[in-house]
Chain A
Amino acid sequence: MPEPDPLDDAVAGMCSGDDDAFRIVYRAVHPTLLRYLEVLVGPSDAEDVASETWGQACRDLDRFQGGADGFRAWVTTIGRHRGLDLLRQRARRPQVVADLTVVDPPDPVDHDLRVEDVLGTRHALALLRELPQDQAEALMLRVVMGLDARSAGQVLGKRPGAVRSAAQRGLRNLARRVDSTEGRVWRRRDIFAPRGAEGVR
């Protein structure tokens, strides 16, 4: 990406201790970070993990060097470690995964009655959580956060090629699922007949 990221200045300001600059960076980075963490650990814990992530990022900020892209990758790496820690903890003490219920897409009737954006986002996150974890993560980092394959690979501890292919598989996978679910939605709304009706029904 040859053109400078508009967030570079804010990141530089943040690194020199300006908390207004921090606010700008936070507003730009936090939403996608939170969504990524939601894909990773589920909606019930994502907020807490994100808070811990920011706390640690603030404490370690003097170890960070770089621009906006670098910061996105850096803070995402912290978040991922925190998230994986949580997943390990959960695995150690088995419990009923309540998050599975969230995976269900929202009621299609509500879909156009409520605020489309927020609901759409939650819906999309829930769909992503149905994907294999590596695909979902790769999609979040590459497509949503906009990290290049190399940075995403560093965050995920993979080679860039592996990240690319995971993202592609994720997209294909997602396309199948979306077609099936949305077909269901459209059908219920009686707008037109389901196209990809051979999917899950």
Chain B
Amino acid sequence: MSTTLRELLARGLRVVRVRRHESSPRVDRLMDSLRAPASPRELAREDEAVAAFDRARLVARIPPRSNQMSPRAARTGLKAALASAGVVAALSTGAAFASGGHAPWSRGIAGDASSHTAATSSSHPTHPAHPTHPAQPSDGSSTAGGPNEHAFAGLCRAYAAGNKATHGNALSSPAFSALVTAAGGADNVAAFCAAQPGHGPDDPGDQSPAAQPSTSGHPTHPVHPTHPVHPTHPVQPTHPAHPTHPAHPTHPVQPTQPAHPEKPTHPAKPHA
């Protein structure tokens, strides 16, 4: 043991001696001066670096956003917005997704949007036009902002109507943010929509206005984007049944809103 210990000690001493030798006080001082605090001259370009940092951060922020709003996603977003705004359209034309489409933020949207959306949505392949429906029979009352569940039903329908492949993108569009929030995440949207009240298997009884006093109970399945059932939507006449409708007496005043006329082309594009 003593030999080993001596050996170890000797080695240790040698190491210490080597260290000593390597780090002579002068070298230590040199190294210290290399670690010295920065001189003002060395930090002269600090602001320049911070500017580069800010610039890079700005640039870094833009690309994801532009990716997010790819033309396709933007279109889907527009569609969704129109869908939720277009309760009216649903009323008159039976557009697939518009039946209960009150988004929480779409309350004040004018009834006149309906005429445009109606016109365009009638060209939707999956939504045959319903000439028999007077364009704005119950418009005034139907444009009222619906309770959230109606909004979600409409959003769900819009979501379901979109191309399945683009659902991921669609959900990142602002129009769906309320839906995603309510569902607790983009992944849950399908389940959330399936669980929406009134979202049962397709319901042909839909056709009778009295059948669904609460329009939230729309028969279409958001989970079935390609559902051909959409033509059954004329159900919309039930909208007047909305308890909240009378609450918006101002709606008839708004038909002059010019915001929507430019959008008609969007919903016309087939999702699938």
Whether, in the assembled complex, A127 has its beta carbon less than 8 Å from a beta carbon of chain B, the answer is yes
- Determine the distance from Cα of A120 to Cα of B21 in the docked complex, in whole angstroms: 21
Q: Which residue of A lies closest to B41 (CB)?
A: A118
Question: What would 17 more interface pairs be, CB under 8 Å, given A54-B53, A144-B34, A178-B27?
Answer: A17-B57, A27-B43, A27-B46, A30-B49, A31-B43, A54-B49, A55-B52, A58-B49, A58-B53, A59-B56, A117-B39, A121-B36, A123-B30, A124-B30, A124-B33, A124-B34, A171-B27
Q: Closest CB of chain A to B214's CB: distance in Å?
A: 45
In the complex, which of the residues B26, B38, B48, B52 contacts A31, with contact meaning CB atoms closer than 8 Å? B38
Q: Tally of A-B residue pairs with Cβ under 8 A?
A: 108
Interface size on B, residues (CB 8 A): 32
Given contacts A58-B56, A62-B60, contact A172 B22 (CB under 8 A): yes
Residues in B neighbouring A30, C-beta threshold 8 A? 38, 42-43, 46, 49
> Which of chain A's residues has its CB closest to B59's CB?
A59
Q: Does B35 contact A (CB under 8 A)?
A: yes
Q: Is the CB of B38 within 8 A of A175?
A: no
B27 touches A174 (CB 8 A): yes
Over the window 125-158 of chain A, the binary record of Cβ atoms lying under 8 Å from chain B Cβ atoms (1 yes, 0 no) is 1011000000000011001100000000000000
Number of interface residues of A (CB under 8 A): 43
Please name all residues of chain B whose beta carbon is closer than 8 Å to the beta carbon of A34 when the two chains form the complex.
42
CB atoms of B35 and A144 under 8 A apart = yes
- A65 located at the interface, meaning its Cβ lies under 8 Å from any Cβ of chain B in the complex: no
**Residue among A51, A124, A128, A139 having the largest count of chain B Cβ atoms under 10 Å:** A124
Chain A residue with Cβ nearest B60: A62
Cross-chain contact B52 with A54 (CB below 8 angstroms): yes
Tell whether, in the assembled complex, residue B36 and residue A120 are in contact, meaning their CB atoms are under 8 Å apart.
Answer: yes
Q: Which residue of B lies closest to A118 (CB)?
A: B39
Instruction: Render A39-78 as a binary contact track against B, CB cut-off 8 A, 1 for contact.
Output: 0000000010011001100110110000000000000000
- Complex interface residues of chain B between 13 and 57 (CB less than 8 A to chain A): 21-24, 26-27, 29-31, 33-39, 41-43, 45-46, 48-50, 52-57
Closest chain B CB from A129 CB (angstroms): 12
> Is there an interface contact between A178 and B45, defined as CB atoms closer than 8 Å?
no
Residues of B within 8 A of A (CB): 21-24, 26-27, 29-31, 33-39, 41-43, 45-46, 48-50, 52-57, 59-60
Of A32, A55, A171, A182, the contact of B35 (CB 8 Å cutoff):
A32
Known: A59-B56, A117-B37, A121-B33. A172 touches B21 (CB 8 A): yes
Residues of A within 8 A of B50 (CB): 19, 22-23, 26
**A132 to B: closest C-beta gap in Å:** 16
Contact residues, A138-193 vs B (CB, 8 A): 139-140, 143-144, 168, 171-172, 174-175, 178-179, 182
Question: What residues of chain B lie closer than 8 Å to A51, measured between beta carbons?
Answer: 45, 48-49, 52
Q: Which 8 A-B pairs give the minimum distances between C-beta atoms? A: A120-B33, A31-B38, A58-B56, A171-B22, A124-B30, A54-B49, A178-B26, A58-B53
Are B37 and A182 within 8 A (Cβ)? Answer: no
Chain B residue with the shortest CB-CB distance to A119: B33
Complex CA–CA separation, A99 to B106 (angstroms): 70
Closest residue of chain B to A183 (Cβ to Cβ) is B26
Would you call B24 and A175 a contact (CB within 8 A)?
Answer: yes
